[in-house]
């Protein structure tokens, strides 16, 4: 990596209608019916920002924090969210990474 990370200023935090429709069709539900629609909307907006700001010729890999599976989303809604977030037709390869929330210290022994 040879460049500094760049800051992306976001004026609109809401996903566009096309992204919402795509999610609703995949999840077989309406975004308005989800208990925490703001959380899902934020992840959908992140998927748009990744598409807008990723140059597929330069970007070889994206590393994104995995959305926390929660009881407010059923499995189909959650997998639909992951599918849109990591859409391989529009984005370079992506690693979704998640810790378990515990701090650990690792030592390598020789």
pLDDT one-digit tens code per residue, 39-73 = 999 999 999 999 988 876 778 888 888 888 888 88
**pLDDT greater at residue 60 or residue 104:** 60
Looking at residue 57, what DSSP letter applies? T
In this structure, how many other beta carbons lie within 10 angstroms of the beta carbon of residue 101?
A: 6
User: What is the average per-residue pLDDT within 92-107?
Assistant: 79
Residues 28, 76: contact at Cβ < 8 Å? yes
Q: Collect all residues with Cβ–Cβ distance below 8 Å to 68 and sequence separation of at least 6.
A: 98
- Determine the Cα–Cα distance for residues 52 and 62; give it in Å rounded to an integer: 13
- Determine the Cα–Cα distance for residues 78 and 72; give it in Å rounded to an integer: 9
């Amino acid at each position: 990596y040879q460049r500094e990370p760049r800051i992306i200023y976001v004026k609109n935090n809401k996903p566009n209608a096309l992204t919402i429709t795509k999610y609703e069709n995949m999840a077989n539900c309406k975004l308005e019916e989800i208990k925490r629609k703001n959380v899902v909307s934020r992840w959908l907006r992140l998927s748009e920002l990744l598409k807008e700001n990723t140059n597929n010729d330069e970007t070889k890999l994206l590393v994104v924090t995995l959305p926390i599976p929660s009881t407010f989303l059923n499995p189909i809604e959650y997998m639909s969210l992951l599918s849109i977030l990591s859409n391989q037709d529009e984005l370079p390869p992506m690693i979704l990474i998640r810790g378990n929330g515990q701090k650990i210290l690792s030592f390598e022994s020789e």
